[in-house]
Each structure stands twice: as structure tokens, then as C-alpha cells.
Structure 1
């Protein structure tokens, strides 16, 4: 449903942004008629069940707010930044758009984007009710460029039968990476083509996503506090990547999915004992009895059982005072607890508010609909950091992803690979 690949940027988007900002007017849209309902356009990427539930919510809003007409328009999530930039240049920006949180640094440069900092500080927004990582992903400097629309995270999903057949106790909340590695080795059977774990190994952001929680748990980070240089080539970074190296090269318990398409399929067929994935994959695991557990940690580390989230945002655009206010009001309504609960229970998506995520009835209903979803909701408390909100992050991710794959394939040693990636990342951060 929400594949973490969605978080990958492309260089062409930043080039397009520069071009747009060179020509864009300081304001666009010019407002709307002062009589009759104010019409606002909301772009989103919801399809299937999500699309149906969202349409129902929009219809309810229009019925309850006769002075506003919300027109919802589907727009592919992966392409919406480019589409928004083109629309802004042409003076036809949407009033609200669903946009990836990883785009926040780029979004902040668009003059028509409404800075929501003052708005969300008002008590009725209950801004602190959104998970910390969501708020952080929506913030660039002193600006708040969006309001949370979706959140997810990574956890262990495991095949209960394969664990039982191998005589291994199921993963526990206290699991360490030593426990994880030992279990993966026992689950591996070359004669059956069976592996303990599968990891995306295409060098994309998905590959990086699987490494970063380990980096954080080991006590490391991606960039320095001022975001000026890479620090993932630290002792902690090497420690985390060495675990992956041991599993892929030495134990051969790690299946390298170079196409990044085979996880659920191999899990369903009993060829993989564990995935580290998000709630979007659960509905695809219809052929096995699976369980969900939080991430392992490193023994003796203070990093805990950290995971990574991919928050996305509702971004509001200034198309004149009436439309701007109507857009803000709609975003406040759609992200309010009642609507968050309705959307989550209707789609299976994780609640974006802590008050909804901590509601026992919500957790029970989510687990009844798709078993294991409740663990992902609770796992949001293990989200302590977000990826750096810098425009150069795509280059940092690309360098880091390629270094990880080189180690997994046995072509490089962890320290050498990370040092080379850090050098490339530093060059990108310096604008070279």
C-alpha cells in the first residue's frame, strides 16, 4: 500500500524546482469570487479503499460546510512534486496537496506554500497530539510546511510456522541483533532455497531505510547536527553494516532482493522467515500465519529499539485569502481526531495522532481487520528521529545505498564503503 520506495527523490526534481523558482510569481491564483461557496482543489494519491474512504470524508465535509466546495483530484504520489511545480509556474497551484515528508526542504522553497507555524500553534489544532517524527518531518527551520497526513514504520514480520519448525522461540520485545542473526541462520536451509531474512538490495532509499534504524540503534546518525557533513561512517555505522555483511556474506542467511519486488511473495511461499517491513505488506501475507515484533537492538547500546517513519503531509497553498482560509480549515478538519479515527479504521492505515493510536478500541479494531497492525501503531513510540531535512538528501541516500549494496555483495568492507559514501555525501552537501 505505502511502499517506502515512495521516499526516493530524483535529481531532476531539484533541477525543476530551481527552474520554477526562477520564473514563479510571488503569488498566484488571485483569490476567488467573494460570493457563493469558495471552491478548493485537493490533490491526493489515494486509490482503492483509501480513495473510497477519502471521497466519503470529502462528501461529508461538503455537506456539513455549504459555504465550501472541496474538489478532490487523484494525482500520483510519486509525481505530485513535479506536477505542483508545473502548476505553480502556470498560476494554477492546488489549494491542498498530499506530498511526501521527505520533500519538505524542496517544498519550503515554493513561495505559494503556506507557513503553518502560527496556525498549528493554536490550541484547537492540538499540534502536540501528532507524533514527534511527524511534526519534525513537516518542519524546515522555523517554518511548518505541512500537516501530517500519513505515518508508518518498520518492524519485524515473521513466519510463525518456520520458527516453530526450526525450534526457535518467536521474536521478543527484548531481542538483540545477535538474537536476530542467530535466528536467521537457523531459519536458513540452502537445500530448500530458504533464507532467514530478506532485504531490498537495489541501492535505493528502501535499502537505506533498512540500514538507518540499525545505525541509530548503534548510537550513530546520518549527518552531523548542523547537517553539514556525513557521519554515518562512524564506529556505530561500521558496526551496523558489519551485521549485514556477516549475514549476507558469511552466514548467507540474508536474501538480497535486487529487484525490490519479491518480499511478500517469498514470505508467502515459505522461502523467507523474516521481513523488516511496514504495515502496507501485511494484507499481502494471506498464505501464512505471521507475527509482528518491534526492531531488535544492539546489546549494551542506549539506542533502544528504534525504527524509522515516513511521514507525509497535507501542504496548503496561498491562492488568495478566501481559498487559503478554506484550505486551512479543511486540513484542520481532515486531520482532527474524529476524521483520523474514521480514516484509519476504514483503511487500516496507522493513526497520525497519538490520542487515536492509544485508543484501545482502535487498536483492537485494526488488529481484527489486519492482524499485527496494532504492533505497528505501538511501534510509533520507537520513532525518535527522522531523516535529515536537507535538499541534498537524495544524493546522500544514493551514496549510502550504493555502499551498503557493495558490502552485501562482498565487494567492499564496511569501513571502506562508508568512507567513500561519506566523501560523496560531503561533496553533495557542499554543493560540489
Structure 2
């Protein structure tokens, strides 16, 4: 009996030890990370899901769960998850949405967590978009310049000078060109259609090319608003095209970019200023035989500088596995993977090695034209301004919409952006 009890005890001990060192131990050691992705285009979603699957196959102890998110109201969605203690480990967002989260302690400082291979491959001006105070709170990986999508047939037949990356139009020349195009196209047609349902980022980001900044940070770290003559150039051109020259369509001022495409395909508009990624819609929707081309945005005293707010990957401060989350981000943003993500979203990668890939340098579909603009991309003027979302929604958007429609003049626009805007920002800088 005693021998049988000893044998049973030994068997039980063996099974217990086997359980501790087998599947149970693996389960306890396995890390699970949640990746909240905002990819929405079919090719982009596929690229993201494929990369997650490849990571999981190679890292059985660090599993990533893909969580599909949406760009609609992403700031409020993230804020709710942060406050509820349910923030995802890895967060896909845009750099102009990070300031409040970074300053509010919601995002992890990534300094020291990323490999030198990644940090050295992304240019300094891109890192500036995710630097708040002394910390780095995201990795910028996709960026989208604004370009002119033009009807090639109309442009060629008009006889106007066609701009290139080396010799773009000036803003004054652009105004004259749209007047000439409208004249030659005939009644009810326009040289350009500005889709300005969301006018603030368009105005500020293109304003850098004319030397405009609007926001100025002092030595004390506080931000002030100044509407200078340089800041007035781009909004002034748009206002005059609509209200004075009649070379820009009034009806598209409240429209989104996609809303202008039917009129563009139908020959109603010679050009439409759009984000670089809209080329995918044009390829998919353009009538058979329709010829289009990608042109650089006009320039002023600031040259080809243009503000962008890159897509970013961040790590939640509350994540218990920050180092593993950073390792996944580094994997996602290897040069070859960054190319896959860029192609999926029809955007430009921030990484210099990815940007040099031949697939992103071809003339077809305007890839080369966009890649030629990458060097001039800069941090959007409002990038690190606390309170910017409120300033944009409550002050800048209605003021610019009224100005572009002709309801108010430049003096009133200046007053509202500066005076009313300063009251909003003051609440965030106490």
C-alpha cells in the first residue's frame, strides 16, 4: 500500500511539474497586444492584417490582436478608451491628434524603445510631428502631400505652362492660370474646384509655401496667433478665385474631395486640389479614356514647404508591455513593410529607404510626382498646439467658410482667427 501511495504521489508530482513547464507556462508567459488600426481602404486593411499575421507566426509568445477602428471621431473614441482604462496597446492615429494625449500623459514616450535602424531612417522633420515637449509619442510612417489633379486634355489644349516639381506655379501664376482655363473652357466651367468642407488644414498646410505660420511659440512655451501678410496669401487667392475671378466653383466650397470627382470627370473643373491618396479613387472611378495628371501645389516665398500630419503608431502609457509593443511597431515599419503600407493607402512613406523603392517612383498614377514633393513636407503649423481641435471646430472652420464664400472680408477673418482664437487657446495654456 505504501509503495502504491508513493508511486501515486510521484506520478502526481510529475504531472504538476509537467503542467508548470508545458502549456500552462507558455500561456502565462504569452503577451497579448491589441492593435487599434484605422486602415480603411481594402488594400490597406489587407496589408495591415497580413503584417499582423506574419508577426504572430514569427512571435508565438507576443501575440497581436487586430482591432478595426475608424477615422470617424477617433479623438473621442480614444479619449473614452483612455478614461475607461481600456486603451489599446498600439494606437494608429494622425500626428495632429496626439498633442492633448501626449501632454495629458496618455501616450508612452518612445525614446529608448525604438531601434536605431528606424529612428535614423525617418527624417528629422517627420519626427518633429510627433515630438511634444521633450518626448516622442508616436512613429510617423505615412504622409500625404496635397497636389493638383488636372484634366490633361484641358491643360494641354489651353496652352498654359505646365508646372513641374522643379518649376512649380507661383500662387499668383496659379490664379492667372485658373482665370485663363475658365475663360477657354466656357460658361459654367471652372479652372479649379476647391473642396473645402474641412478648410482649416488645407489653408494652414498650404500656407507654409507662402511663408505663413499663424501659430508662434514663445520662449515660455506659450502659443500666440498672428495673422500676417504671409498667412493671408493662400486664403486670399482662394477667396479671389471664387468671388472676384469666378474661376473657382462656389458650390464645391462645402464639399468633400470625393464630391468633386464627377464634375472633374465630366470636364466641369480643369483641376482639383486633393490629397495624394485620392489617386486611387480616380483610377477606380475615371471613365475609360479619361486622361489625368498630378501637378505640384503652387509655391510662394516659403518654396515647396507644405504642412502634413502623418499617420502614426503610438503606445499607450497604460500598456503593461511597452517594449513588446515598440518591437511590433518596428516590425511593421521595416522598409519593405512600409512600402506595402504606403501602396495600400496610396500615400508616401516617411522612411527614406522605403521612399526610394522603385514601386513608389514610377510615373504611372502620379507616384513619381508625389515622391518629388517629399523633401518639402514639414510639420503642420498646428501640430503641437494644445486646444487646436476646439479652435478648429469653433473658430477657424466657420470663419474660413464664411470668408471663402464672400460673407466676410479679410479684416473680419483676421479678427476672428486671432482674437476669438486666442481666447480658446488661453484655456489650454494656464
Query: Looking at CA atoms only, which structure, 1 or 2, has the larger radius of gyration?
Result: 2
Query: Mapping of 1:12-411 within 5 angstroms?
Result: 35-47=28-40, 48-120=42-114, 122-125=115-118, 127-173=119-165, 174=167, 175-189=169-183, 191-202=186-197, 204=198, 207-226=199-218, 227-231=222-226, 233-256=227-250, 257-261=252-256, 262-285=259-282, 286-287=286-287, 288-298=290-300, 301=301, 303-319=302-318, 321=320, 323-359=321-357, 361-364=358-361, 367-368=363-364, 371-388=365-382, 389-398=384-393, 399-411=395-407
| Length-normalised TM-score, structure 1 | 0.82
Which piece of structure 1 moves more, 165-174 or 192-201? 165-174
Q: Could you say if the C-alpha distance between residues 401 and 118 of structure 1 is closer, same or farther in structure 2, counting changes exceeding 3 Å? A: same
Q: SS at the partner of 2:389? A: helix
CA distance in 1, matches of 2:137, 2:164: 38
Q: Could you say if the C-alpha distance between residues 172 and 109 of structure 1 is closer, same or farther in structure 2, counting changes exceeding 3 Å? A: closer
Q: How far apart are 1:142 and its partner, in Å?
A: 0.8
- Write out per-residue CA displacement over residues 131-175 of structure 1, whole angstroms, 9 at most, x where no aligned residue: 444312211111111112421111122111111232323233322
- Write out per-residue CA displacement over residues 118-137 of structure 1, whole angstroms, 9 at most, x where no aligned residue: 324x5233x13224443122
CA distance in 2, matches of 1:177, 1:319: 47
| Length-normalised TM-score, structure 2 | 0.83
Which residue of structure 1 aligns with residue 416 of structure 2? 420
Q: Could you say if the C-alpha distance between residues 417 and 347 of structure 1 is closer, same or farther in structure 2, counting changes exceeding 3 Å? A: closer
CA distance in 1, matches of 2:133, 2:396: 25
Q: How far apart are 1:191 and its partner, in Å?
A: 4.8
Alignment root-mean-square deviation, CA? 2.4
Question: 8 Å contact 1:53–1:346 — kept in the other structure?
Answer: yes
Question: 8 Å contact 1:356–1:362 — kept in the other structure?
Answer: no
Which residue of structure 1 aligns with residue 22 of structure 2? none
CA distance in 1, matches of 2:150, 2:170: 15
Gaps of 5+ in 1: 1-31
CA distance in 2, matches of 1:242, 1:376: 26
Aligned residues: 387
- Write out per-residue CA displacement over residues 245-283 of structure 1, whole angstroms, 9 at most, x where no aligned residue: 221111110113133232222211111111111122112
Q: SS at the partner of 1:73? A: strand
